[in-house]
Structure 1
Amino acid sequence: MNHSTWRTHRARELANEAVEYDQEYIDAWLAGDLGQAVHDRRIELGLSQTELAERAGMTQPQVSRMEGGDTVPTLPLLRRLAKALDGSLNVAIDEEESHVTFTPHAA
């Protein structure tokens, strides 16, 4: 989706008109949600990207790309991330929306 198309979609959303996004945009949105959830939980724990990478068996650039929504990790990596971030990873995917959160483990 180019910027012009995005602006048109955004204007329709703001006018409360129905907007349809292509699958590529929806997939990118999910990757962004996941990256934001990882970033938020990492910051909440006071970890640097390097510290999270060490805990999860990754490299710092991999963490950076994931937090930026540029890549989607595999299921085994998601498991390691949940452990490294001391929480449960919750992903809810519906036809048109998704939510990604971390639920901290009880102290």
Structure 2
Amino acid sequence: MNHSTWRTCRARQLVGETVGYDREHVDARLAGDLGQAVYDRRIELSLSRAELADRAAMTEPQVPQLEGGDTVPPLPMLRRLAKVLDGSLTVAIDEGDSHVTFAPRSS
């Protein structure tokens, strides 16, 4: 989906029309939501990018790529991230919708 198509869909959605987004848009939003969840939790724990990378067995350049929504890591890395960030990562994927939540573990 290019930017002008997205803007048209967004404008139609804002005026109350039902808009179907293509798979690329849903996937991009999921990647962005995942990155934001990781970023928010990392900041909450006062971890630097380097500390997160070291603890999660990632390279330091992978952290901003992940947090920026440029990439979705494989499942083993998601498992390590959940452990390092001391939380529960939930990714819900449905046909036309998806969302990510990162809940801290109860103390």
TM-score, normalised with respect to structure 1: 0.94
- Could you tell me how far 1:72 is from its partner in structure 2? 0.7
Aligned twin of 1:45: 45
Q: Give the aligned partner of residue 105 of structure 2.
A: 105
Q: What is the letter of the counterpart of residue 21 of structure 2?
A: Y
Aligned to 2:88, the other structure's residue is in SS state strand
What's the % identity of the aligned pairs? 72
1:66-106 Cα shifts (integer Å, max 9, x gaps): 11111110000000000110111111112221121111122
Instruction: Find the counterpart in structure 1 of residue 56 from structure 2.
Output: 56
> What pairs up with 1:14-93 in 2 under 5 angstroms?
14-93=14-93
Which ranges of 4 or more aligned residues in structure 1 deviate by more than 3 Å?
Answer: none
**Unmatched segments (≥5 aa) in structure 2:** none
- Secondary structure of 1:7's partner? helix
The letter for the 1-side match of 2:42 is R
TM-score by structure 2 length?
Answer: 0.94
* Number of residue equivalences: 107
Q: Could you say what the CA RMSD is over the residues aligned between the two structures, in angstroms?
A: 1.0
SS at match of 1:51: helix
Greater RCO between the two (CA within 8 Å, min separation 6)? 2
